[in-house]
Amino acid sequence: MKKYLVYAVLVLMLFISKTSLVSGQTTDPIKVKNMIARYKKDARGPYLDIRWFCQDGSIRAARDPCPDKPGNQRARYKDEVTRLAKKDHIFFGQILSTTPYTDFWDANNANSRLIQYQLEQFLRNIDNGWINRRAQFYRGAVQYEDENNWGIGFYGWRLADSLTMGSRYFLLRQSALSIPHTADTKNAQGVRALSREISDSLISFQDLRIKIHNMPDEGDIALVKAFQQKNKNKIPVKLKPKFKKLLSEMALMYRPFQVKDFDKYISKLPGNSDAAKITAAFVATYGALPNAEERCQAISHTALELRKEMLKPMKGQARLALIDIVNKLEMMLNVQVSKWEAKTLGALTAQVYCLSEAAAGFGFLELWEWEQLKEKLTIAEGASISLNQLRSFLESSSNVIHWGTAMVWSHYMPAINVYKEFEPLAAGYFDDLVRSSVLLPLGQQVNRLSNFFAQEAGLSNAVLDLPGQSAVRGLNPGYAMGELVVVNEAKDIISFSQNKIYAFHEAPANLKPVAGIISVTEGNMVSHVQLLARNLGIPNAVISHENLEAMRKFSGIEVFFAVSNKGTVILKPAAEMDASERDLFKQKKVREEKISVPVERIQLKQSNVLNLREVSAVQSGVICGPKAANLGQLKRLFPDHVVGRICTSIWRFS
């Protein structure tokens, strides 16, 4: 397993290095930040005006429709928005209709444009429309029907390719949560018609009518109710039944998903296909399942089977229906897993297996990764389990979390890193993606399992002289030495130092890299703190509130802080460090001061350009550099998954 983990990390590093080149830095983040601030106050936001976009390629005025064939009416972008897209590959206020599919897919830039669309939807949801704060009421800027039709066409085009379906499953599934692609319904038409009728008689409702037509979402229900309350003495009696009917239609439009709703997706699948049979069987049996455990297991197994079915030949619209089904299954799992109470070790391991299988079904793992892990996560019902088996199970389940978060990181962090230069709120998107997924409950249960293992294995902590140290557990291994700071002041005025070890009740969302992290809350393996610690190799531990209070008397002293791979924690005054502990930092200093290159291994007689198939890891520093050598090793192990390349021998640089 360690071998596969090393190779997976190498692949991830190569992918991130590629996508980092794509994203780069913006030319002038301050200028972009000021642009965003202006758009938030601008009634047209990032848009210039409304135009008709005709099928012959012409663009006509808003009052001059396309003469022959029908076109699309939407907003044009402001000139500086267009320049920003062309110069820095940053896209604000994207309108999908009339956008070429290949431009939006953006394959040459690691799908950056598509990912930016998703990121902007997140920013709009958490920041009252973000740059469209006022433009969401700009009439005619976006036609929701056109956006829906575009989305249906886009997925029909992209999902027709089986290879793309296999290699970009996670991204495609996530994108379908943001890109509109549902056929218009009588219910949606009714909502638009009623909102139009009300606004025609009540001009003050005009902004809400535009919002409902342009960018509808579930929050519109609350907006309509708030409008009613605020204007209860101004609404004519004849309109009150229309408001009541509008709210009723909107409630129907946004009602919770029900299992019977799968029927409309099944109708889009090939009638005799295994995918249709699997989904139909799920619908037929799900309602009779007696408890949350069996419902969760049915959901996770169905999601994984449907993911595999998507690799079989079928039309793009059929694959889109399967993606929608899997996304609904994820919503159902999030509800059901909160009701599954695992009280025994057997129930806990069964729950971890179920959630790991779901992670594979939802795309957080590649299918080959799941094949490597599932046997190690399989424990026969009622079978006894040794500590060594439990350790192996724990390591494998932790890998599901690590690899799952790496999947999110590799796809989304390049765009997030660019956006957070001018919009700090973008930094929260990664956490939101991870913590709204199956990885959150999986992390919680793996933490429980880790605690049980530590107790059974007799692993003990040595944390100063604190009472109740059984509550202390390590989350991310590593060691550090520095001043211990037990935080008292408000988080927003703390000036964090990378040379200090911080203990607090709850870590701030914008925590910067530090020497060590100790916290009461945020103990989940997919929390912001743990993700930060794991990605930067920062030792991290969770403690109880009582531990934190008892620790305050040590604030300000220099301490040694270490977390082992097994989760045990050492925290003691630096003055009490033994010789071996001090040597850790001496060795680190030596490594930082001098690098020794084994020049005697270098073979300078090799003068040819090499095929990647001809090199392997053992030839690193001999005939080529480490990057080429490791990539060659991956090519040997996974010939069908690593593209062909050539590399230059070392002598060319000597």
Confidence of residue 381 (pLDDT cuts 50, 70, 90): confident
The whole-number pLDDT of residue 2 equals 44
Confidence of residue 186 (pLDDT cuts 50, 70, 90): confident
Distance CA 208, CA 211 (A): 5
pLDDT in tens, 536-573: 889 998 887 778 888 999 999 999 999 988 788 999 99
pLDDT in tens, 301-352: 999 999 999 999 999 999 999 999 999 999 999 999 999 999 889 899 999 9
pLDDT in tens, 507-543: 776 788 899 999 887 555 666 777 778 878 899 988 8
The whole-number pLDDT of residue 596 equals 65
Taking the CB of residue 302, how many other CB atoms lie within 10 A of it?
22
Residue 477 has pLDDT above 70, yes or no: yes
pLDDT in tens, 30-77: 999 999 999 999 999 999 999 999 988 899 999 899 987 889 999 999
Q: Please, what is the average pLDDT of the chain?
A: 86
Instruction: Say which amino acid occupies 322.
Output: L
**Over 109-172, what HEC string results?**
HCCHHHHHHHHHHHHHHHCCCHHHCCHHHCCCCCCHHHHHHHHHHHHHHHCCCHHHHHHCHHHH
Distance CA 139, CA 598 (A): 68
Coil, helix or strand for 179? Answer: coil
**169 or 256, higher pLDDT:** 169
Distance CA 220, CA 512 (A): 37
Confidence of residue 19 (pLDDT cuts 50, 70, 90): very low
The whole-number pLDDT of residue 56 equals 87
DSSP tag of 3? H
Average pLDDT value for residue range 239-263: 88
Instruction: Note the helical H segments in 498-622.
Output: 528-536, 545-551, 579-593
Taking the CB of residue 470, how many other CB atoms lie within 10 A of it?
12
Residues in the chain, how many? 654
Domain boundaries, the chain: 2-253, 258-341, 345-458, 462-593, 599-653
Q: Are 2 and 372 in contact (CB under 8 A)?
A: no
Q: Most distant CA pair in the chain: distance in Å? A: 93
**604 or 331, higher pLDDT:** 331
The predicted model scores a pTM of 0.74
pLDDT in tens, 614-627: 888 888 888 887 77
Confidence of residue 591 (pLDDT cuts 50, 70, 90): low
CATH topology classification for 462-593: Glucose Oxidase; domain 1 (3.50.30)
Residue 637 has pLDDT above 90, yes or no: no
Confidence of residue 629 (pLDDT cuts 50, 70, 90): confident
